[in-house]
Structures are given as C-alpha cells and as structure tokens.
Amino acid sequence: MKLLGIDTGGTFTDFVFYDGKSLKIHKVLSTPEAPEKAILKGISEMGLTMQALRIIHGSTVATNAVLEGKGARTVYVANRGLQDVLTIGRQARRELYNLQPEAIAPPVEEKFCLQTGGRIGARGEIIEPLTKQDIDTLLAEIEQLKPESVAVNLLFSFIDDQFERKIARALPDNLFVSISSEILPEYREYERGITTWLNAYVGPLVQGYLLNLSEQVKPATVSVMRSSGQTCAAKQAGKEAVHLLLSGPAGGLSGARFLGENCNQARLLTLDMGGTSTDVALIDGDISLTSTGHIAHYPVGVPMVDMHTIGAGGGSIARADAGGLLLLGPESAGASPGPACYGRGGINPTVTDANLVLGHLPKLALLGGNLRLDVEAARNSIGGLVKPLGLDSVEQAAEGIIKVVNEHMAQALRLISVQRGIDPRDFVLLAFGGAGGLHVCALADALGLKKAMAPVQAGVLSALGMLTAPAGRQLSRTIGNLLHDNAEVAVDSALAELADRGKQVLAEEGFDSEELAFVPSLDLCYRGQSFTLNIPWKDIAAAEAEFHQRHESQFGHRLDAPVELVNVRLGISAQPFELTLPECKGEENPKCIYGEIFPEKQSVEIWRRDSLSEAQVISGPAIILDDVSTTLIEAGWRGQVDVYGNILLDKK
C-alpha cells in the first residue's frame, strides 16, 4: 500500500507521498473555489498512479463553509417551546465592557426553527409523545421551506433517542439528516444543538465534495483527517462533517508528535504558521483534546485537538490606522492574488513581503519549490507604509511588520502555556508550516526558551502527519450522577456500549476489533460546577483521587464537596501505519553562499538543507533553505542537524 497525505491550506495544498521506503513532497497553489482541482493537479505533477494508493486528506471544506457562512439551507427541529435555544444561546457577551456590541445574526433564521412533540424527561420518562399529527405537521412545514438538510435536537435524547430516530425515518430521503443522539449524546442542550446544526449545515457540502473526490481518484481509497487527530473513511466522514472542522491543523499536531517521538522530545510547544493563520498547541507526551472548542463564535462539543488559532500568517496584510499605528491581519492575501512578491497581482504588504525585504527570505528562494519571488514588488507594497508610520525606510517598516506578527504569535503561545499554569521553558518549540521557521528563534527568545526545532518536513508537516495518524473514534455519553452513586460495573457497562459502537463503525473500515486500542476516561466536576476535568478511568477511588489532585493543580484549590460523574468517554484507535523517516545524506563538503539581512546589514550564511549532514553545526545568523520552508537561525542561536535532517536549535 502506497500512502499520500494531502493538506489543503489557504495558500498552498501540500502533498507527502510514501512508497514504503522514501518520502516525496510537493506543493501547489490552492484553489479555494474548488479544492479538488489543486489536489488533482498535484497528483498529476507528481506522476502518481491510483493503483494501490491510499489518500489521507485534511479538508478545509467544512471550516470554510462555517467561517464564510456558506453552508446548506438547514431546518432546526426542537421540542415545543424550545425552538429558540440556538438564538438565545448562553447570553454570554463576546466583549464584556462594550455597551454597544455589534449585533450577531442568529445561526438559524426564525422561520427555519421548528417545534414538535416527543419530549423526554431527565429520568427518561415520556413527558409528551410524538404523534402522527406532529410528524405530519412537521413534514408539511419542511416541504414548504424546502431545505437541504435537517438538524433534530430533542430534550434528553442522550437518554432515549426513540423520538429523534422516528423523525429521522419520516423525513424524505433527499434530505441530509443530523440527529443529536448520534452527533453528540451529551447534556447541555445549546452546545448539543449547535453541534448538531453545524453537522447538518456543512454536511451536504462535505459529503458531496468527498464523494466527488473519491470518484475522481478511483481506484485509490480516500480517508479523511478528523479534528481529534484520527482518520476515518471518506464515506463515513461525510455523515459526520462537524468532526472535520480542524481537519488540517490536527494533521500538523499528529506530525509534530511523530517527529517528537523520533527525536526523543515528548514535551513540545507547536507553532504551525501557514499563509493565512497560525495554530499553536501544547503536546505533553500525547495530543490534548478538548470538548469545549469553538469555530468562529460557535461552540463545538465534539472532541477536537486543543489548540489556539490566530489570524496571523505569511499572507497576513499589514496596514496603518488613522493614528499611525501598525496593524496586522486577520485579512490575508490568500493564494490568489497572494502577497505582492508572488507577482500575481497582489499589492498589499504582507508578512512574506516583509521577510523578503529584510533578507530573511533570500531572493533566490523558490516558494513551494517553483515560485520565484519579486523583491521590487515586495518593496513597493511595504513602501506605502513608510510615510503613514512616520518611518525613514522600507526596511524599518518591514521590521515593524515582523515585530508585530511575532508578538501576536508569542501571545498565542503564552495563552496555551503560561495562562494555564504551565512553564513554557520546560518545552521545546517546534515551528513548522511554510513560514514557521523564519520566526522560531525570535519566538523562543520571547518566551525564554533555550531549545527549539526546525523539522526537515516543516512546510508539509500537516500532510506528513496524516500518514502517521491512526484510524479511530472519540465516543461519549452523559451519565449525570454523583460519582459514588455509580457502581464500577455501571461505568464499565456504559463504556462497553461505546466500545461496541466503535468496533462496529471501524469494522466497516476493515479493522478487526483485536487490533484496536481503547482509552476510557470520565468527565468529573464538583457538584454544582459547570465545567469538568477529564480523568483517566481505572476505578472510582482512583478517579476521585486524580480529580482532586488535578483540580488543585489547575485551579489552586480543592473542595470538600461530592464529585459528580458527567460523561463517560472512550477513545478508540487502530494501529497507525509504521512510517520510517529517511536518514539525511548530505554532501561531504557542503558549501554555503552569503547574503545580507536588514536593517543591520549583517552578513548571513545561506545553506541548502539537503546539503547538510548529520551532526553538522551551524551558528547564527544563518538561513537554511529547502523546497517547502525556510529557517532563520538568528545570532546567538546554534543549529545541529540530526540523523533525519531536522535542525535542533539551542541558545548559545
């Protein structure tokens, strides 16, 4: 079996091909209006055949549909009197002290919010039946509205889902139907409802896209990266589209963990800087998941990698406000026209243009392996900022852009470490994405880190990570009792039900239950609290002790109060494909050329990464070039090449 990882980004679409012995990488400019065009172009340019090929794809279709508000026409169905739950939400202010906040449109228009019978109580009793007249009325309303999809979210369906399933069976076959008891069988009606609606909102688009892609690459098989860092078959992914909202970034974390394991670095701060945005996360042995993530301003209750995203990337646009203050992003030049230096008609100054003007990105660099850079276009674009900012030169303006973007990214790294009570100095900063290596030393300095890493596959690490990710699922179910009111046999019984469900869906993908690994856990809180901590499951006594300790560690105190069991969770995964990184060969006597970096006009060594050999040491300032990324080793830093060609950085 040959493997092809594909990551569709805002600017580039990345490819990593593994034939069992060696890696082959490639990049093409993305085609946001039709992502499959870039995919087919890249496959063609790489000269790959579809026979015995397995494609693992990180898709942005679901993410873009939500961010751009271009999902399917969707009806939301709730119990009587509760059809406005998604509009009311949690009544939490996005800007606490803004007395005149900008109004936000409700996720679902009022006319598309329908109500019906079929109400279950908190103990599973039937409060209101679902009658034939209820269903007939609902079908008539849906026929009049002519939606593409329907989201059904009834009270306490995670206890008894008979009414949700009855509604789903009655709906026409041409509709995409999403029911909350399948998508998120947990308490919190608002979060469950938003997640179910999001699945229905993007489901038809994702399903259509994946079916079309799968058809065009036959006989190759297609799997898709889920937000949890696991993969699933494309056919099943379309039904659970809400699980793909962090598809690409999850691949990056999978790749970072894989490289960390190969380099004996288990504690990593990761920074994925692409063309449009930057994702930061923390890996402490394994990838952390959260069930309280967000996409735009919507809560997403399904498990996803715990990361923070900011609108700062290589294509982020810089501008001066009326007071002469330099602002950056979140607007991006994207893939077309792209930064001014791409020579594709872009005129706005970007981070990539600034790096080129300062010499951090050498003139001879070819982005993506074949895109030549236009230095004059970059200087002209940034030149428009010199006067508004009250500066003397283009280089000063470019330096300001880099300082601002670095501070944005440093603050994001502090958010996922310092603000959670974690000392970032205990971690290694691993920077990847096409632009991450240009900023890795400056960010390590900003956080007081002494060690960092610039991986050899930095520009395509998300695509590489898709090859190393296991197939699997993250399943859950709400219990909602005091921990000591649940016998261990009751918890084990609930976990067994989840295991049976997971085995069934993975069997459809060809995985035998004997090769699956199971990781059980509980969501616990003190009685009366709103938020939970996820605790590994062994037995009740061990879970309670671990909860008290974790609560004190994270919040600084523990309470003399009963512990409540909210959810049981089960992570299920198959064995990942065993991928072996090729060792670097390098040259016997590699040669560098020299350039200049501004504004100090320092002389800088410029090396080709593929010319470097294991154990070679390079002192900054120096620039390392390869086909898919560029690394700037700043003065005071030293890089050493490991057996795979990764550059391990340390402060002198």
Q: Which residue has the higher pLDDT, 476 or 29?
A: 476
Reported confidence tier of residue 455, pLDDT bands at 50, 70, 90: very high
pLDDT tops 70 at residue 478: yes
227-265 tens-digit pLDDT: 999 999 999 999 999 999 999 899 999 999 999 999 999
pLDDT tens-digit profile of 100-129? 888 888 999 999 999 999 999 999 999 999
CA 482 vs CA 128, 187, 274, 527, 568: distances in Å: 28, 15, 45, 8, 13
Query: Any residues with CB less than 8 A from the CB of 150 and at least 6 apart, and which?
Result: 74, 75, 76, 77, 142, 171, 175, 176, 177, 178, 200
- Token pair of 229 as six digits: 């860092």
Query: Terminal CA-to-CA distance of the chain, rounded, Å?
Result: 45
Q: Hey, is 582 helix, strand or coil?
A: coil
- Give the angle 650-250-634 at the CA atoms, nearest 5°: 20
In terms of DSSP H, where are the helices of 416-519? 440-447, 461-468, 488-507
Single out the residue of 280, 258, 267 nearest to residue 425, CA to CA: 267
Tens of pLDDT, residues 277-329: 899 999 998 999 999 998 888 999 999 999 998 888 899 999 999 899 999 98
d(CA 16, CA 2) in angstroms, rounded, equals 11
Cα-based distances in Å from 58 to 250, 257, 268, 503:
8, 17, 22, 24
Tens of pLDDT, residue by residue over 610-651, are 999 999 999 999 999 988 889 999 999 999 999 999 999 999
pLDDT tens-digit map of 78-95:
999 999 999 999 877 778
CA distance 446 to 407: 8
pLDDT confidence of residue 53: 94
Q: Which domains are delineated in the chain?
A: 2-66+207-244 (3.30.420.40), 70-201 (3.40.50), 472-573 (3.30.1490), 593-651 (no CATH)
User: Between residues 10 and 153, which one has the greater pLDDT?
Assistant: 153
pLDDT in tens, 366-392: 665 567 889 999 999 999 999 999 999
Tokens of 540: 């009740």
Indicate the pLDDT class of residue 72, thresholds 50, 70 and 90: very high
**What residue type is assigned to position 363 of the chain?**
K
Q: Is 493 helix (H, G, I), strand (E, B) or coil?
A: helix
**In the 3-class helix/strand/coil scheme, how is 117-184 assigned residue by residue?**
CCEECCCCCEEECCCHHHHHHHHHHHHHHCCCEEEECCCCCCCCCHHHHHHHHHCCCCCEEEEHHHHC
Answer with the residue of higher pLDDT: 333 or 85. 85
SS3 sequence of 160-173? CCHHHHHHHHHCCC
**Rounded distance, CA 155 to CA 151, Å?**
13
pLDDT at 365 over 90: no
Q: At 216, list the tokens.
A: 């065009």
Please give the structure tokens belonging to residue 32: 């946001």
- Averaged pLDDT, 34-38: 92
What digits encode the pLDDT tens for the residues 149-187? Answer: 999 999 999 999 999 999 999 999 999 999 999 999 999
Strand, helix or coil at 192?
helix
Query: Quick one: which of 281, 304, 295 has its CA closest to 436?
Result: 281
Measured CA to CA, the distance from residue 356 to residue 379 in angstroms comes to 9
**Whether the Cβ atoms of residue 330 and residue 318 lie closer than 8 Å to each other:** no
- Residue 227, classed as helix, strand or coil, is coil
Residue 413, token pair as written in the block: 């790294």
State the helix-helix crossing angle for 394-415 and 440-447, rounded to 10 degrees.
50
Distance from C-alpha of 92 to C-alpha of 294, rounded to nearest angstrom: 14
The alpha-carbon radius of gyration of the chain (Å, integer) is 26
Separation CA 614–CA 590 (nearest Å): 12
